Protein backbone atom coordinates (compact mmCIF):
# COMPACT_ATOMS: atom_id res chain seq x y z
CA UNK A 1 0.00 0.00 0.00
CA UNK A 2 1.25 3.53 -0.74
CA UNK A 3 1.88 5.74 2.30
CA UNK A 4 -1.08 7.73 3.52
CA UNK A 5 -1.12 11.43 2.74
CA UNK A 6 -0.65 14.00 5.51
CA UNK A 7 -2.72 17.19 5.81
CA UNK A 8 -1.97 20.14 8.07
CA UNK A 9 -5.25 21.24 9.63
CA UNK A 10 -4.29 23.20 12.76
CA UNK A 11 -1.67 25.80 13.70
CA UNK A 12 -0.54 26.84 17.19
CA UNK A 13 2.12 29.48 17.85
CA UNK A 14 3.69 31.02 20.93
CA UNK A 15 6.35 33.47 19.73
CA UNK A 16 8.20 36.62 20.77
CA UNK A 17 6.31 38.58 18.10
CA UNK A 18 2.83 37.30 18.86
CA UNK A 19 0.76 34.55 20.41
CA UNK A 20 -1.57 32.78 18.00
CA UNK A 21 -1.20 32.26 14.26
CA UNK A 22 -2.82 35.55 13.25
CA UNK A 23 -0.78 37.83 15.50
CA UNK A 24 2.35 35.91 14.55
CA UNK A 25 1.68 36.24 10.82
CA UNK A 26 0.74 39.92 11.02
CA UNK A 27 3.97 40.68 12.86
CA UNK A 28 5.98 38.82 10.22
CA UNK A 29 4.30 40.81 7.47
CA UNK A 30 5.06 44.07 9.30
CA UNK A 31 8.69 43.09 9.76
CA UNK A 32 8.41 43.53 13.52
CA UNK A 33 11.33 42.52 15.74
CA UNK A 34 10.74 40.70 19.03
CA UNK A 35 14.26 41.36 20.31
CA UNK A 36 14.88 43.62 23.30
CA UNK A 37 16.84 43.84 26.54
CA UNK A 38 16.49 40.75 28.71
CA UNK A 39 13.83 41.25 31.39
CA UNK A 40 13.73 37.76 32.93
CA UNK A 41 16.90 38.34 34.97
CA UNK A 42 19.65 40.91 35.49
CA UNK A 43 21.88 40.50 32.42
CA UNK A 44 24.05 43.55 33.08
CA UNK A 45 27.16 41.42 33.61
CA UNK A 46 26.69 39.35 30.45
CA UNK A 47 28.39 39.99 27.10
CA UNK A 48 24.99 39.63 25.43
CA UNK A 49 22.17 41.43 27.22
CA UNK A 50 19.42 40.91 24.63
CA UNK A 51 16.97 38.17 23.68
CA UNK A 52 13.58 37.59 22.06
CA UNK A 53 11.29 36.92 25.02
CA UNK A 54 7.62 35.95 25.03
CA UNK A 55 6.35 38.81 27.16
CA UNK A 56 2.55 38.44 27.20
CA UNK A 57 2.11 34.75 27.99
CA UNK A 58 -0.04 33.67 30.96
CA UNK A 59 -0.10 29.88 31.42
CA UNK A 60 -3.33 30.23 33.42
CA UNK A 61 -5.06 31.01 30.13
CA UNK A 62 -4.44 27.40 29.08
CA UNK A 63 -4.06 25.19 32.17
CA UNK A 64 -5.16 25.32 35.80
CA UNK A 65 -2.93 26.67 38.57
CA UNK A 66 -1.91 23.24 39.83
CA UNK A 67 -0.69 22.17 36.39
CA UNK A 68 1.06 25.51 35.93
CA UNK A 69 3.07 25.01 39.13
CA UNK A 70 4.01 21.47 38.17
CA UNK A 71 5.28 22.23 34.66
CA UNK A 72 8.29 24.10 33.36
CA UNK A 73 7.79 27.06 31.04
CA UNK A 74 8.72 25.01 27.96
CA UNK A 75 5.91 22.53 28.74
CA UNK A 76 3.47 25.38 29.34
CA UNK A 77 4.35 26.78 25.91
CA UNK A 78 3.97 23.37 24.26
CA UNK A 79 0.60 22.70 25.82
CA UNK A 80 -0.71 26.16 24.93
CA UNK A 81 0.43 25.80 21.31
CA UNK A 82 -1.11 22.33 21.11
CA UNK A 83 -4.42 23.60 22.44
CA UNK A 84 -4.34 26.35 19.81
CA UNK A 85 -3.58 23.90 17.01
CA UNK A 86 -6.35 21.58 18.12
CA UNK A 87 -8.89 24.40 18.46
CA UNK A 88 -7.85 25.83 15.10
CA UNK A 89 -8.40 22.48 13.40
CA UNK A 90 -11.90 21.88 14.75
CA UNK A 91 -10.80 18.34 15.60
CA UNK A 92 -11.91 16.82 18.91
CA UNK A 93 -10.08 14.10 20.80
CA UNK A 94 -12.65 11.72 22.26
CA UNK A 95 -12.61 8.38 24.10
CA UNK A 96 -13.58 6.82 20.78
CA UNK A 97 -10.65 8.19 18.72
CA UNK A 98 -8.06 8.93 21.44
CA UNK A 99 -6.00 5.79 20.78
CA UNK A 100 -5.48 6.99 17.20
CA UNK A 101 -4.27 10.47 18.12
CA UNK A 102 -0.59 10.92 19.00
CA UNK A 103 1.79 13.58 20.25
CA UNK A 104 5.38 14.21 19.19
CA UNK A 105 6.80 17.39 20.70
CA UNK A 106 10.52 18.02 21.11
CA UNK A 107 12.85 20.52 22.75
CA UNK A 108 16.51 21.24 22.40
CA UNK A 109 17.19 22.04 26.06
CA UNK A 110 14.03 21.28 28.05
CA UNK A 111 13.41 22.51 31.57
CA UNK A 112 16.23 25.02 31.87
CA UNK A 113 14.33 27.36 34.18
CA UNK A 114 13.54 24.55 36.60
CA UNK A 115 17.12 23.25 36.53
CA UNK A 116 18.48 26.62 37.63
CA UNK A 117 15.77 27.36 40.21
CA UNK A 118 16.09 23.98 41.88
CA UNK A 119 19.89 24.08 41.88
CA UNK A 120 19.71 27.40 43.71
CA UNK A 121 17.34 25.83 46.26
CA UNK A 122 19.72 22.88 46.70
CA UNK A 123 22.67 25.18 47.41
CA UNK A 124 20.79 27.65 49.62
CA UNK A 125 18.36 25.38 51.49
CA UNK A 126 19.64 21.82 51.15
CA UNK A 127 18.66 18.63 49.30
CA UNK A 128 15.45 18.05 51.27
CA UNK A 129 13.95 21.22 49.82
CA UNK A 130 14.36 20.24 46.15
CA UNK A 131 10.93 19.80 44.56
CA UNK A 132 9.61 16.24 44.09
CA UNK A 133 8.52 17.50 40.67
CA UNK A 134 12.07 18.47 39.69
CA UNK A 135 12.76 15.45 37.48
CA UNK A 136 9.45 15.37 35.58
CA UNK A 137 9.67 19.15 35.13
CA UNK A 138 13.05 19.07 33.36
CA UNK A 139 12.83 16.02 31.09
CA UNK A 140 12.13 16.83 27.48
CA UNK A 141 9.60 14.04 26.84
CA UNK A 142 7.29 15.53 29.46
CA UNK A 143 5.89 18.05 26.96
CA UNK A 144 4.43 15.17 24.95
CA UNK A 145 3.48 13.37 28.13
CA UNK A 146 1.54 16.27 29.66
CA UNK A 147 -0.22 17.06 26.38
CA UNK A 148 -1.26 13.42 26.09
CA UNK A 149 -2.51 13.31 29.69
CA UNK A 150 -4.46 16.57 29.58
CA UNK A 151 -5.95 16.04 26.12
CA UNK A 152 -6.54 12.28 26.20
CA UNK A 153 -4.28 11.50 23.24
CA UNK A 154 -3.37 7.81 23.66
CA UNK A 155 -1.75 7.13 20.29
CA UNK A 156 1.98 7.26 19.42
CA UNK A 157 3.73 9.40 22.03
CA UNK A 158 7.35 10.41 21.77
CA UNK A 159 9.85 13.26 21.81
CA UNK A 160 12.74 14.41 19.62
CA UNK A 161 15.98 16.04 20.73
CA UNK A 162 18.16 17.19 17.83
CA UNK A 163 19.12 20.68 19.05
CA UNK A 164 17.90 23.33 16.62
CA UNK A 165 16.63 20.72 14.15
CA UNK A 166 14.21 19.36 16.76
CA UNK A 167 10.97 20.96 15.54
CA UNK A 168 11.57 19.83 11.97
CA UNK A 169 12.43 16.29 13.00
CA UNK A 170 9.42 16.08 15.32
CA UNK A 171 6.98 17.08 12.59
CA UNK A 172 8.64 14.85 10.00
CA UNK A 173 8.67 11.85 12.33
CA UNK A 174 5.04 12.44 13.30
CA UNK A 175 4.09 12.52 9.61
CA UNK A 176 5.68 9.09 9.25
CA UNK A 177 3.37 7.78 12.01
CA UNK A 178 0.39 8.87 9.93
CA UNK A 179 1.85 7.62 6.65
CA UNK A 180 2.30 4.16 8.17
CA UNK A 181 -1.27 4.09 9.44
CA UNK A 182 -0.30 4.24 13.13
CA UNK A 183 -2.39 7.36 13.83
CA UNK A 184 -5.15 9.43 12.23
CA UNK A 185 -3.78 12.65 13.76
CA UNK A 186 -0.63 13.87 15.48
CA UNK A 187 0.15 17.03 17.43
CA UNK A 188 3.75 17.75 16.46
CA UNK A 189 6.36 20.46 16.85
CA UNK A 190 8.84 21.94 19.28
CA UNK A 191 9.03 24.09 22.39
CA UNK A 192 11.80 26.03 24.11
CA UNK A 193 12.17 28.31 27.13
CA UNK A 194 15.90 28.62 27.68
CA UNK A 195 16.38 32.35 28.28
CA UNK A 196 18.07 31.75 31.62
CA UNK A 197 21.34 32.99 33.14
CA UNK A 198 23.20 29.72 32.64
CA UNK A 199 22.01 29.20 29.06
CA UNK A 200 22.84 32.75 28.01
CA UNK A 201 26.22 32.54 29.76
CA UNK A 202 27.00 29.32 27.94
CA UNK A 203 26.19 30.73 24.52
CA UNK A 204 28.15 33.89 25.36
CA UNK A 205 31.18 31.78 26.23
CA UNK A 206 30.87 30.07 22.84
CA UNK A 207 30.83 33.52 21.15
CA UNK A 208 27.68 32.34 19.36
CA UNK A 209 25.28 35.17 20.29
CA UNK A 210 25.10 38.76 19.16
CA UNK A 211 26.53 41.48 21.39
CA UNK A 212 24.81 44.33 19.57
CA UNK A 213 23.34 45.39 22.90
CA UNK A 214 22.83 49.02 21.95
CA UNK A 215 20.56 48.12 19.01
CA UNK A 216 18.55 45.05 20.11
CA UNK A 217 16.03 45.13 17.27
CA UNK A 218 18.82 45.25 14.68
CA UNK A 219 20.89 42.49 16.27
CA UNK A 220 19.42 39.51 14.42
CA UNK A 221 20.51 40.10 10.81
CA UNK A 222 20.74 36.82 8.87
CA UNK A 223 22.89 36.85 5.73
CA UNK A 224 23.97 40.44 6.40
CA UNK A 225 27.72 41.09 6.21
CA UNK A 226 27.73 42.68 9.69
CA UNK A 227 26.00 39.80 11.49
CA UNK A 228 27.73 38.86 14.73
CA UNK A 229 25.74 35.98 16.18
CA UNK A 230 22.25 34.70 16.85
CA UNK A 231 19.64 36.01 19.28
CA UNK A 232 18.13 33.58 21.77
CA UNK A 233 14.37 33.29 21.44
CA UNK A 234 11.68 31.24 23.14
CA UNK A 235 8.24 29.87 22.33
CA UNK A 236 6.54 26.94 20.66
CA UNK A 237 5.22 25.94 17.27
CA UNK A 238 2.81 22.99 17.00
CA UNK A 239 0.79 21.73 14.04
CA UNK A 240 -2.03 19.23 13.89
CA UNK A 241 -1.16 16.69 11.23
CA UNK A 242 -4.05 14.60 10.00
CA UNK A 243 -4.49 11.69 7.64
CA UNK A 244 -5.79 13.27 4.43
CA UNK A 245 -8.90 11.15 3.95
CA UNK A 246 -9.88 11.63 7.58
CA UNK A 247 -9.53 15.41 7.20
CA UNK A 248 -11.59 15.35 4.01
CA UNK A 249 -14.37 13.31 5.56
CA UNK A 250 -14.87 15.81 8.34
CA UNK A 251 -14.55 18.71 5.85
CA UNK A 252 -11.61 20.23 7.71
CA UNK A 253 -9.83 23.32 6.45
CA UNK A 254 -6.60 21.94 4.98
CA UNK A 255 -3.88 24.58 5.13
CA UNK A 256 -1.38 22.52 3.13
CA UNK A 257 -0.15 19.00 2.53
CA UNK A 258 3.12 17.86 4.10
CA UNK A 259 4.77 16.10 1.18
CA UNK A 260 8.50 15.94 1.90
CA UNK A 261 10.81 15.15 4.80
CA UNK A 262 14.56 14.78 4.55
CA UNK A 263 17.24 14.37 7.17
CA UNK A 264 20.98 13.78 7.35
CA UNK A 265 24.04 14.11 9.55
CA UNK A 266 27.10 16.24 8.83
CA UNK A 267 29.51 13.97 10.74
CA UNK A 268 31.79 17.00 10.93
CA UNK A 269 31.82 19.08 14.16
CA UNK A 270 29.86 19.50 17.39
CA UNK A 271 28.77 23.07 16.59
CA UNK A 272 30.02 24.21 13.18
CA UNK A 273 28.27 23.10 9.98
CA UNK A 274 30.25 21.28 7.32
CA UNK A 275 31.81 24.12 5.28
CA UNK A 276 31.14 22.18 2.07
CA UNK A 277 27.43 22.05 2.99
CA UNK A 278 27.27 18.35 2.17
CA UNK A 279 24.88 17.36 4.97
CA UNK A 280 22.54 20.30 4.48
CA UNK A 281 22.42 19.71 0.73
CA UNK A 282 21.77 15.98 1.12
CA UNK A 283 18.88 16.60 3.51
CA UNK A 284 17.30 19.04 1.02
CA UNK A 285 17.67 16.50 -1.80
CA UNK A 286 16.20 13.80 0.43
CA UNK A 287 13.15 15.97 1.11
CA UNK A 288 12.69 16.75 -2.58
CA UNK A 289 12.97 13.06 -3.42
CA UNK A 290 10.43 12.19 -0.72
CA UNK A 291 8.07 14.82 -2.19
CA UNK A 292 8.73 13.62 -5.76
CA UNK A 293 9.50 17.22 -6.67
CA UNK A 294 12.18 19.08 -8.61
CA UNK A 295 13.98 22.09 -7.10
CA UNK A 296 12.33 24.43 -9.59
CA UNK A 297 8.94 23.54 -8.08
CA UNK A 298 9.85 25.16 -4.73
CA UNK A 299 8.53 28.73 -4.60
CA UNK A 300 9.94 29.76 -1.21
CA UNK A 301 12.59 28.62 1.25
CA UNK A 302 12.29 29.52 4.92
CA UNK A 303 15.96 29.39 5.81
CA UNK A 304 17.48 28.26 9.07
CA UNK A 305 19.24 31.62 8.77
CA UNK A 306 20.60 32.06 12.28
CA UNK A 307 22.61 35.28 11.78
CA UNK A 308 25.88 33.48 12.53
CA UNK A 309 28.91 33.69 10.26
CA UNK A 310 29.19 30.00 9.44
CA UNK A 311 25.54 28.94 9.26
CA UNK A 312 24.39 31.61 6.84
CA UNK A 313 27.34 31.08 4.52
CA UNK A 314 26.96 27.29 4.55
CA UNK A 315 23.19 27.35 4.06
CA UNK A 316 23.60 29.67 1.07
CA UNK A 317 26.08 27.21 -0.44
CA UNK A 318 23.70 24.29 0.20
CA UNK A 319 20.86 26.06 -1.61
CA UNK A 320 23.15 26.74 -4.58
CA UNK A 321 24.30 23.12 -4.71
CA UNK A 322 20.76 21.76 -4.68
CA UNK A 323 18.85 24.39 -6.65
CA UNK A 324 21.38 25.25 -9.34
CA UNK A 325 20.17 28.08 -11.57
CA UNK A 326 16.88 28.25 -9.64
CA UNK A 327 18.87 29.35 -6.56
CA UNK A 328 19.20 32.79 -8.16
CA UNK A 329 15.45 33.31 -8.34
CA UNK A 330 13.84 31.40 -5.46
CA UNK A 331 13.03 33.70 -2.50
CA UNK A 332 14.89 32.71 0.67
CA UNK A 333 14.07 34.47 3.94
CA UNK A 334 14.88 34.05 7.60
CA UNK A 335 12.08 34.77 10.05
CA UNK A 336 14.70 34.49 12.82
CA UNK A 337 15.52 38.08 11.93
CA UNK A 338 12.27 38.88 13.78
CA UNK A 339 11.70 36.03 16.24
CA UNK A 340 15.27 35.33 17.21
CA UNK A 341 16.38 31.71 17.31
CA UNK A 342 13.85 29.51 19.11
CA UNK A 343 16.29 26.57 19.17
CA UNK A 344 14.22 23.37 19.43
CA UNK A 345 11.01 25.27 18.67
CA UNK A 346 12.36 26.96 15.53
CA UNK A 347 11.43 24.19 13.10
CA UNK A 348 7.80 24.16 14.25
CA UNK A 349 7.34 27.92 14.22
CA UNK A 350 9.04 28.29 10.85
CA UNK A 351 7.01 25.53 9.21
CA UNK A 352 3.92 27.44 10.30
CA UNK A 353 5.37 30.52 8.56
CA UNK A 354 5.69 28.41 5.38
CA UNK A 355 2.11 27.18 5.66
CA UNK A 356 0.85 30.72 6.14
CA UNK A 357 2.89 31.90 3.14
CA UNK A 358 0.88 29.41 1.06
CA UNK A 359 -2.37 30.38 2.77
CA UNK A 360 -1.95 34.15 2.40
CA UNK A 361 0.08 34.45 -0.80
CA UNK A 362 2.95 36.37 0.77
CA UNK A 363 6.55 35.80 1.85
CA UNK A 364 7.96 37.11 5.15
CA UNK A 365 11.02 39.33 4.87
CA UNK A 366 14.52 39.06 6.26
CA UNK A 367 14.71 42.28 8.26
CA UNK A 368 17.96 44.11 9.09
CA UNK A 369 19.46 43.14 5.74
CA UNK A 370 21.59 46.21 5.01
CA UNK A 371 25.09 45.16 3.98
CA UNK A 372 25.35 42.40 1.34
CA UNK A 373 27.84 39.61 2.01
CA UNK A 374 29.58 38.42 -1.19
CA UNK A 375 29.32 34.84 0.09
CA UNK A 376 25.58 35.22 0.77
CA UNK A 377 24.22 36.29 -2.59
CA UNK A 378 20.68 34.93 -2.91
CA UNK A 379 17.31 36.70 -2.88
CA UNK A 380 16.74 37.06 0.87
CA UNK A 381 13.52 39.12 0.55
CA UNK A 382 15.21 42.08 2.24
CA UNK A 383 13.32 44.11 4.84
CA UNK A 384 9.84 44.11 3.26
CA UNK A 385 7.30 41.30 2.88
CA UNK A 386 6.53 40.25 -0.68
CA UNK A 387 3.12 39.42 -2.11
CA UNK A 388 3.50 36.29 -4.20
CA UNK A 389 1.64 33.06 -4.85
CA UNK A 390 3.36 30.21 -3.05
CA UNK A 391 2.42 26.68 -4.09
CA UNK A 392 5.28 24.86 -2.38
CA UNK A 393 7.65 25.87 0.41
CA UNK A 394 10.71 24.33 2.05
CA UNK A 395 11.59 24.79 5.73
CA UNK A 396 15.23 24.23 6.77
CA UNK A 397 16.39 23.32 10.27
CA UNK A 398 19.96 22.52 11.30
CA UNK A 399 21.26 21.67 14.77
CA UNK A 400 24.45 21.38 16.81
CA UNK A 401 25.86 17.91 16.37
CA UNK A 402 25.34 18.06 12.61
CA UNK A 403 21.61 17.31 12.58
CA UNK A 404 19.70 18.42 9.45
CA UNK A 405 15.91 18.31 9.00
CA UNK A 406 14.04 19.60 5.96
CA UNK A 407 10.25 19.77 5.47
CA UNK A 408 8.32 20.55 2.28
CA UNK A 409 4.69 21.66 2.26
CA UNK A 410 2.52 22.06 -0.82
CA UNK A 411 -0.75 23.81 -1.57
CA UNK A 412 -3.74 21.46 -1.25
CA UNK A 413 -5.65 21.54 -4.52
CA UNK A 414 -8.67 19.55 -3.38
CA UNK A 415 -7.51 16.25 -4.84
Three-state secondary structure of the chain:
CCCCCEEEEEEEEEECCEECHHHHHHHHHHCCCCCEECCCCCCCCCCCCEEECCCCCCHHHCCCHHHHHHCCHHHHHHHHHHHHHHHHHCCCCCCCCHHHEEEEEECCCCCHHHHHHHHHHHHHHCHHHCCCCHHHHHCCCHHHHHHHHHHCCCCCEECCCCHHHHHHHHHHHHHHHHHCCCCCEEEEEEEECCCCHHHHHHHHHCCCECCCCCCHHHCCCCCECCCCCECEECEEEEEEEEEHHHHHHCCCCCCEEEEEEEEEECCCCCCCCCCCCHHHHHHHHHHHHHHCCCHHHCCEEECCCCCCHHHHHHHHHHHHHHHHHHHHCCCEECCHHHHCECHHHHHHHHHHHHHHHHHHCEECCECCCCCEECCECCCCCECCCEECCCCEEEEEEEECCCEEEEEEEECCCCC
Q: Which one from 246, 304, 354, 376 is the annotated catalytic residue? A: 304
Q: Which one from 341, 354, 376, 403 is the annotated catalytic residue? A: 341
Active site residue 304: yes
Q: Whose CA is closest to 343, among 381, 303, 391, 400?
A: 400
Active site residue 403: no
Active site residue 354: no
Q: Which one from 164, 246, 376, 403 is the annotated catalytic residue? A: 164
Which residues are identified as catalytic? 164, 304, 341
Amino acid sequence: MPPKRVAITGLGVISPIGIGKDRFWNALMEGRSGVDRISRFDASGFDSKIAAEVRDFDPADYMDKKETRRNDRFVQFAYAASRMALDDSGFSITPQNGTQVGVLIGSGIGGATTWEEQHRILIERGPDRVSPFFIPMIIINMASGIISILLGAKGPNSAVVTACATGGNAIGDAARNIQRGEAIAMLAGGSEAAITPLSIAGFCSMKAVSTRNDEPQKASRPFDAKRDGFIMGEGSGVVLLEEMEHARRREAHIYAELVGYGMSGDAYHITQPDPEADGAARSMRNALRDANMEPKQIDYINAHGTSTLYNDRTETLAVKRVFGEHAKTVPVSSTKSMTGHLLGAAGGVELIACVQAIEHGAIPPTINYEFPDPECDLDYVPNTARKMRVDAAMSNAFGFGGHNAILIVRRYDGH
